[in-house]
Amino acid sequence: MTAETKTETETATGEAQSAGSCCSPTGSCHGGAADVQIGGVTTVYQVTGMTCGHCEGAVSSEISEIAGVTSVKAVASTGQVTVLSDAPLDEAAVREAVDEAGYELVGTV
């Protein structure tokens, strides 16, 4: 069975692993905060100060205005903001957008 038709493999420890994943069940080979995905780059940022849906919307709205951003999902309970973009983003631009929304960018997760 080839990697294209196989949906799961089993690691040496017996854990299920998705096909096409070379290192981990999540498919991240480099352990960094940005993972290249089909159709773009996904980066998870840590933001402090978000407490509700309004906060999530404010952060998402500001980050969405950055050129190349295709999707933003902010979660107040964890402080994590997942951004899908065409290419890696300049962290200074993300920091400025988060600041504009009234919150603080800690960095990437």
Beta strands in the chain (DSSP E): 8-10, 16-18, 34-37, 40-48, 69-75, 80-85, 104-108
The CATH class of 32-108 is: alpha beta
Of 36-40, 73-77, 105-109, where does mean pLDDT reach its minimum? 36-40
Residue 72: the pLDDT is 98
**pLDDT class for 81, splitting at 50, 70, 90?**
very high
Question: Phi/psi of residue 13, each to 5°?
Answer: -90, 0
Residue 23: the pLDDT is 41
| pTM listed for this prediction | 0.66
Position 53 pLDDT exceeds 70: yes
Please provide the average confidence, as pLDDT, over all residues in the chain: 78
Question: Average pLDDT, stretch 26-37?
Answer: 48
Strand partners, 37: 40
